[in-house]
Amino acid sequence: MEGQQSARFYRHVLFGLVILCFGGAAFAAPPPEARILLNTDRFVVGSKWTLDILVDTPEPLTVRVPVPVLPPALALSEGPYIRETSWEKVAGTLSRATKVSLTLKTLQPGIVEVGPFEVRVGNTVQSLPPVTVYLLAADEAKRRFPVELRWVKPEGVFYEGQAIPLLLQARNLDTLVQAPDLGLAAPPGSLWEKAVGLGEIEITSIGEDRLMNVPWGGWMLIATKAGSLTIPAVRASVAGVERVVPPLTLPIESLPPEAAEGRAVGAFTYSIEAKQGEAAQGGQLVVVQELSGRGNFPYLRLPEVVVPGLTLMSRQEGTRYRAARGGYEGSLLVTWRFASEGPGTISLELPGFKAFQPSTGRVESWDPRVVRVTLDNFAEPAAQTVPEAQILNWAEVQSVRPWGLTQNGWSILLLLPGPVFLAATFLFRGRNKGLLVLTVVGVTLFSASESAPAGFEAALKAQGYEAAEAWGTLAAAHPDEPGLWYNKALVCQDAGRTAEAVHAFLMAIRTGLQGDLAARGLAALEEKELLTNQFPPWTGWPTNLLALSLGLAFNLTFLAWGLQRIFGVGFWLLPLAVFAMGTVAAGFFLGVASAAQKESDAVVGLADGPIRKVPGDLAENWMTLKAGTVVRVQGHSDQWVLVQTGYGLEGWVLSSGLLSLEAAH
């Protein structure tokens, strides 16, 4: 009995202890309240400031706050210090509390978060969320947000020849401003092209504020060799403050050896086909290469197409790609045209292609293949009669010269006789006086006979290279004399200086050579040298003769008007209307002729001209224009000129490789 009572007693004691433990835990007091105190959230670089954490406990020795990991823009200067303070939780009532203070130093501008903070009071732990602070540079101390300028680049490994999009981004702008043209030069060992569309405006929310990250400039970078490539520091003005972006260094890896020849880096799809073309002067074989996808289109090299026994007539490249965030996107189309001397079946090998994909680290390959094409659409070239070209003597040079009055500035006086005559009819009402005025203003204008310029006779006697130089000197000294340009064209053609001959023929036509000698000579030369000229020269009336026709019709209009006033007969209204329409027609054709004369701007010079996709000696030479090809100038960049062929293809050539036609304008 006594043992049972003892066991019951111990069971009650154990049960009471369990209730005491678990009940005490259930009704334990919550951790004391804590908060972060900051006088402001904006601090200037170089300043020190204090962040306080207020804890609702009167026992400082029980409080611990470890220092959180700080962003690189901040450093711990002092603390943490823990001391007793007071806390006014209820207005007018102070209670004892504990303050933990950290002194931080601002190292660089930016928007950063400090925290989170772990507050330990005895055995209790609570976490305070991080606070956002704005670290301002010294020149923007009065601004609300720190302005940053930094490079944004893709992640991953970069390879030789890879198209790398780089975006310069202005960050933390509260108002949208226009980005200036920075005009950054190409880093050494690279191709560098300004591009648009590489980034968009990003809007972020910080509290009640809306901040914008704005593209400040975009460029496509192609490293032309392995190693390390550095973009120098950039200084720019952003929203009224100067910012310097530190140099950006990119490690560049080498391409695998099997992809080095084509230099293609990206994700591509390649195809090549051969077919029979339309018959022109002989049969044609057309080979079309197409490359599409994303990658370094301006720098890669498609394999050459060689067809034994056929003559390459042209290589035309169509570029339909644009800069994008992942590189250049689009397609590249290359059309090869070969000429055959007769019908038959051609067997040729279509070359393959290799491209390196950075994302997978693999080289994609397209194998070559052999095809057979039958050329049966063959047409014999039509016989063309080419006049026998002879050097012009001085009398002939004068005879092919257009009426030279419009060559002079005072040719505007040719428009005065008609209006003067009409004005005279208002001053002199009598018929005899009006006829007298007509006789006075009807002056016959003529050009006096001139003597040959110095060196003309010597040029007639010169031969070969000396003749070409002599006529070139005379034409340069008298650029408005078409006969001299024509003579230069003939001797340059005989000397095998094709480009100079084409240039001189065009200059003769532009300066108004009478007849079709220059046009026929140019056509025969281009056919012989297999030159394609998509800018045919103006072969109609010379512009100065059209200008004289305009002046004559203009004066006759006023003359008919004046005669109608003198005689008072309605008969003169019909000539008046005819001459007025003639004035309009002459003005229209003069405008058409002037525009046609400016279709082409230059001729590819003494050697075949390499056409590059971007200006620079290291840029890809994707096409070669034969010496003597006529082109149009689209723009300039230092010593490089952007030219366009008649097919609309564009590329960059050195200005020293062009013979300008501007002197004829």
CB atoms within 10 A of CB 260: 13
Q: Is pLDDT above 90 for 234?
A: no
Average confidence (pLDDT) over 525-553: 69
Q: Is pLDDT above 70 for 1?
A: no
Portion of the chain with pLDDT greater than 70, in percent: 76
Q: Is pLDDT above 70 for 609?
A: no
Q: At what angle do helices 573-597 and 543-567 cross, to 10 degrees?
A: 170
Band (pLDDT 50/70/90 cuts) for residue 525 is: confident
Average confidence (pLDDT) over 443-454: 56
Question: Residue 161: helix, strand or coil by DSSP?
Answer: coil
Rounded CA-CA distance 268/332 in Å is 10
Residue 598 confidence (pLDDT)? 53
CB 243 within 8 A of CB 108: no
Tell me, rounded to whole angstroms, the distance of Cα 75 from its chain centroid.
45
Q: Is pLDDT above 90 for 162?
A: yes
CB atoms within 10 A of CB 43: 22
Which helix (H) or strand (E) segment holds residue 523: the answer is helix 517-528
Rounded CA-CA distance 200/198 in Å is 7
Q: What angle do CA 15, 19, 24 make, to 5 degrees?
A: 155
Residue 272 confidence (pLDDT)? 95
Q: Which residue has the higher pLDDT, 213 or 433?
A: 213
Rounded CA-CA distance 162/80 in Å is 51
The CATH code belonging to domain 602-664 is 2.30.30.40
Rounded CA-CA distance 663/511 in Å is 10
Q: What is the pLDDT of residues 367-408, one digit of tens each?
A: 999 999 888 765 554 444 444 568 888 777 777 766 544 444
CB 487 within 8 A of CB 469: no
Range of lowest pLDDT (27-31, 55-59, 234-238):
27-31
CB atoms within 10 A of CB 203: 10
Residue 627 confidence (pLDDT)? 76
**Residue bearing tokens 């001391």:** 83
What amino acid is encoded at 107 in this protein?
L
Rounded CA-CA distance 17/52 in Å is 42
CB atoms within 10 A of CB 523: 18
CB 522 within 8 A of CB 535: no
Q: What angle do CA 111, 35, 118 make, to 5 degrees?
A: 80
Q: C-alpha distances in angstroms, 124 versus 80, 82, 96, 130, 600?
A: 19, 17, 19, 20, 86
Question: What is this structure's pTM?
Answer: 0.52
Cα dihedral sign, 20-22-26-32: positive
Q: Which residue has the higher pLDDT, 238 or 434?
A: 238
Which residues lie below 8 Å from residue 34, measured CB to CB, with a gap of 6+? Answer: 53, 54, 55, 56, 119, 126, 128
How many Cα atoms occupy the beta-carbon half-sphere of 398 within 13 Å? Answer: 10
How many Cα atoms occupy the beta-carbon half-sphere of 390 within 13 Å? Answer: 5
Rounded CA-CA distance 527/517 in Å is 16
What is the chain's alpha carbon radius of gyration, rounded to the nearest angstrom?
A: 43
Nearest residue to 597 via CA among 457, 455, 482? 482
Rounded CA-CA distance 383/360 in Å is 59
CB 491 within 8 A of CB 471: yes
Domain layout of the chain by residue ranges: 34-140, 148-253, 264-375, 394-540+547-590, 602-664
Q: Is pLDDT above 90 for 79?
A: no
Beta partners for residue 97, in sequence order: 85
Average confidence (pLDDT) over 593-608: 60
How many Cα atoms occupy the beta-carbon half-sphere of 264 within 13 Å? Answer: 26
Residue 412 confidence (pLDDT)? 56
Q: What is the 3-state secondary structure (H, E, C) of 405-459?
A: HHHCHHHHHHHCHHHHHHHHHHHCCCHHHHHHHHHHHCCCCCCCCCCCCCCHHHH
Range of lowest pLDDT (5-14, 58-67, 143-152, 568-577):
5-14
Residue 51 confidence (pLDDT)? 93
Residue 280 confidence (pLDDT)? 43
Q: Is pLDDT above 70 for 431?
A: no
Residue 251 confidence (pLDDT)? 95
Residue 48 confidence (pLDDT)? 92
Band (pLDDT 50/70/90 cuts) for residue 433 is: very low
Q: Which residue has the higher pLDDT, 158 or 479?
A: 158
Domains 34-140 and 148-253 share a fold: yes
Q: Which residue has the higher pLDDT, 618 or 67?
A: 67
Average confidence (pLDDT) over 447-472: 78
Task: For residue 142, report the phi and psi dihedrals to the nearest 5 degrees.
Answer: -95, 0
Helices (H) and strands (E) in the chain, counts: 11, 35
The domain made up of 34-140 has a fold known as Immunoglobulin-like (2.60.40)
Band (pLDDT 50/70/90 cuts) for residue 514 is: low
Rounded CA-CA distance 275/280 in Å is 15
Rounded CA-CA distance 343/411 in Å is 59
Beta-sheet strands, E only, within 305-445: 311-324, 327-340, 344-350, 353-357, 362-366, 369-375
Nearest residue to 630 via CA among 498, 492, 484, 496? 498
Band (pLDDT 50/70/90 cuts) for residue 344 is: confident
Q: Which CATH class is domain 148-253?
A: mainly beta
Average confidence (pLDDT) over 194-213: 81
Q: Which residue has the higher pLDDT, 334 or 635?
A: 334
Nearest residue to 304 via CA among 270, 276, 336? 336
Please state, rounded to an integer, the average pLDDT across all residues of the chain. 78
CB atoms within 10 A of CB 554: 21
Question: Residue 474: helix, strand or coil by DSSP?
Answer: helix
Rounded CA-CA distance 607/626 in Å is 7
Extract long-range pairs of 383-388: CB within 8 Å, 24+ residues apart: 384/524, 384/527, 386/520, 386/521, 386/524, 387/517, 387/520, 387/521
Residue 532 confidence (pLDDT)? 66
Which residues lie below 8 Å from residue 180, measured CB to CB, with a gap of 6+? Answer: 236, 237
What amino acid is encoded at 16 in this protein?
G
Tokens of 550: 């305009």
Residue 290 confidence (pLDDT)? 94
Band (pLDDT 50/70/90 cuts) for residue 68 is: very high
Q: Is pLDDT above 70 for 328?
A: yes
Residue 203 confidence (pLDDT)? 85
Nearest residue to 306 via CA among 254, 362, 347, 275? 347
Tokens of 559: 């003359």
Q: C-alpha distances in angstroms, 388 versus 462, 519, 540, 653?
A: 19, 13, 22, 36
Portion of the chain with pLDDT greater than 90, in percent: 20
Which helix (H) or strand (E) segment holds residue 34: the answer is strand 34-37
CB atoms within 10 A of CB 123: 8
Q: What is the 3-state secondary structure (H, E, C) of 545-581?
A: HHHHHHHHHHHHHHHHHHHHHHHCCHHHHHHHHHHHH
How many Cα atoms occupy the beta-carbon half-sphere of 83 within 13 Å? Answer: 7
- Listed ranges 258-267, 552-561, 582-591, 616-625; the one with the highest mean pLDDT: 258-267
Beta partners for residue 37, in sequence order: 52
Residue 415 confidence (pLDDT)? 61
